[in-house]
Amino acid sequence: MGIEYFIIAVIIAIIYIWQKYTSRIKSGLVFPSTIFMLMWAFACFASVIVQAYDLLDDFGSGYKIVGPYIFLFILVSLLGFLLASKTIRINLDAYNFNSDYISYFLEKMKIFLYLSFLLGLVRIYFMVKIFGWETLYDYRQNALIASSIENNGIFDLVVQISSYIYVLATFSVVLLAIKQALTGFNLKEMLWYFILFSSQALSIGGRMFILDFISCFFFMFLLIRVRNKRILSNKEFTLVGSSFAILIVLIMILGIARNNGNEVESSADYYDKYLYIQDGIIYTSAVFELSPENAFDLDFGKNITSINREDTNFARFRDGINMELYLPFITGVIAPLYFDFGYWGSLFAWFIICFLGELAAYYAYNRGTIWGMLFIFVLIRFFYDTPLMVSGGRGFFRYLAVLLIIYWASRYLMLDFKSWQFNKQLSDSGDKLLDL
C-alpha cells in the first residue's frame, strides 16, 4: 500500500533531528533543515495513521503512487541540507545582542501588532455580517469562503492590507522571542502578544494560528538560547513547558468544538481534525492519481514562485478538482513543484532549494545581526509551511519583501540596526540620539 515509504521517511527525519540534538555542536538545532524534518515527520506519521486505519479509503491508490515519491523527497532534502552543512562552517561565538536596542525596536514595531489585531476584528465583522454563523463549524466554513472571495469591495481591500500587516505583526513576535531569550522568559508578556497575534488567524477560522505563534516565538527563542549555550532555567522550564502544552491542548479543544458543529460526521472527518497536517500529502495523492505527468505542460516555476500562478495548469487542475473531504486550500509544496517541473524535475528543484535555503541560513547565522535572525526566521517559516503550503512561494516572498522594506526604512531613519552585533557597547549618548 506504500505505507512503508512513509514509515521510512519518518525514521529518516527523526534520525536527522536526533543527530542534531545529540551532536557536540548544537548550534544547528533550530534551523530550516531541522524544522522541515520535524514538520514532515509529523505529516508522514499522520499519513501512516490514516492508511493504517483506512480513514481515507478514497485516496488509497493515490497513496500508493505518492509513497515512493515522499521517500525520495525526504532523501533529496537530506542531501541538500547535508551538502550545505559541509560547505560552510558555523560560527560558535555566542550572540551578545544589546537587549535595550531590541526593546527599542520592538516598541516601534508593536503598533503593527495592534493594527493586525484590529484588522482581524474588522475581517471577522465583515465575514459574520455577510455570511453569518451558528456553530463553530459553520464559522470555519464561512471564513474560508470569505477569505477566498476576490473583488469584494472594501472587504477585499481589508484582506489585502491585513496580510502585510500580519507579516509585520509576525516580526514583532519574533523580536519578542529574541528579547526574552536575552532577558528572561516573561509569560504574561508572551500571552498578551499571543492574544494580539491571534485575531487575524481567527478571522479565517483555522487553528494554524497557534502553530504559527509557536513557530514565531518558541523556535526563535530556542535558536538564540542554543547559540548562547543557555537553554532554560528550572523556573523557565516550567513556564515554557506549561505554556507550550496549553497551546497544544488548545488546538485539540478547538478541533473538538468545531467537530461538534458538523451535522454530517464520519470517522475520516473526525480524525482529520487532528491529522490535517497531512492534508498536503492527501492533495498530492489526488494530483498524482488524477493528473499523470504526461497529461499537462510544465509551468516552469510559476507555481512555486507565485508568478502569474492563476494562469497555470496547476490552477486549472485546482479549480476543476472535486474533493468532498475538504476544501482544496492546503496543497503542500509538492503539488506546485510537480506541475512546475514534473516528477524528477521537481525532486532536483527541491534539492537546490534545500541546499540554497540551508546555506543562506548558515551565512545569516554566522553574520550575527538582528537582520540575519529575522532572515533565518523567514527561511524557517518557508520550510515549516511546506507540508501545508497554501499559496506557493507567495508567503515567502511577502515576508522577504516586508523584511527588506523594514531594513531600508531603518537606514533611511538613521537607525543603523546592523550595529546589533556581538557587543553591548551602547553609550547613553547613543541611546539619546536614537530617541531624537
Nearby residues of 414 by Cβ (< 8 Å), 6 or more positions away: none
Q: For position 124, what pLDDT does the model report?
A: 79
Residue 32 CB neighbour total at 10 angstroms:
27
Helix, strand, or coil here: 205? coil
| pLDDT tens-digit series, residues 312-369 | 888 888 877 765 544 556 788 999 999 999 999 999 999 999 999 999 999 998 888 8
Q: Is the pLDDT of residue 9 over 90?
A: yes
Q: What is the mean pLDDT of residues 396-405?
A: 89
Q: For position 386, what pLDDT does the model report?
A: 92
Whether 325 and 287 have beta carbons less than 8 Å apart is answered as no
Q: For position 388, what pLDDT does the model report?
A: 84
Q: Is the pLDDT of residue 377 over 60?
A: yes
Could you identify the residue written with the cell 486549472?
A: 316
Q: For position 436, what pLDDT does the model report?
A: 32
What grid cell was written down for 185?
A: 522568559
Q: For position 98, what pLDDT does the model report?
A: 77
DSSP code string of 249-294: HHHHHHHHHHHHT-SS--HHHHHHHHHGGGHHHHHHHHHHHHS-GG
d(CA 42, CA 205): 22
Torsions phi, psi for 415 (to 5 deg): -105, 90
Residue 177 CB neighbour total at 10 angstroms:
25
Helix, strand, or coil here: 192? helix
Residue 228 CB neighbour total at 10 angstroms:
16
Q: Is the pLDDT of residue 382 over 90?
A: yes
Q: What is the mean pLDDT of residues 413-425?
A: 45
Report long-range pairs for 13-17 (Cβ below 8 Å, ≥24 apart).
Answer: 13/37, 13/38, 13/40, 13/41, 13/44, 13/74, 14/41, 16/78, 16/81, 17/41
Residue 291 CB neighbour total at 10 angstroms:
19
Q: How confident is the model at residue 425 (pLDDT cuts 50, 70, 90)?
A: very low
What type of residue is 27?
S
State the average pLDDT for the chain.
Answer: 78
What type of residue is 396?
F
d(CA 82, CA 168): 32
Q: Is the pLDDT of residue 150 over 50?
A: yes
The percentage of residues in the chain with a pLDDT greater than 90, rounded to a whole number, is 26
Q: Is the pLDDT of residue 303 over 70?
A: yes
The percentage of residues in the chain with a pLDDT greater than 70, rounded to a whole number, is 74
| pLDDT tens-digit series, residues 38-71 | 999 999 998 888 777 766 655 555 667 888 999 9
Range with the poorest average pLDDT among 8-22, 77-91, 419-433: 419-433
Q: For position 76, what pLDDT does the model report?
A: 97
d(CA 171, CA 400): 11
Range with the poorest average pLDDT among 137-141, 252-256, 312-316, 421-425: 421-425
Q: Which of 72-86, 214-228, 229-243 has maximum average pLDDT?
A: 72-86
State the sign of the Cα–Cα–Cα–Cα dihedral 292, 297, 301, 304: negative
* CA atoms within a 13 Å half-sphere pointing along the CA-CB vector of 392: 22
Q: For position 325, what pLDDT does the model report?
A: 46
d(CA 257, CA 29): 35
Secondary element (H or E) of residue 345: helix 334-367
Q: For position 435, what pLDDT does the model report?
A: 40
d(CA 265, CA 267): 7
Q: For position 172, what pLDDT does the model report?
A: 92
End-to-end CA distance of the chain: 67
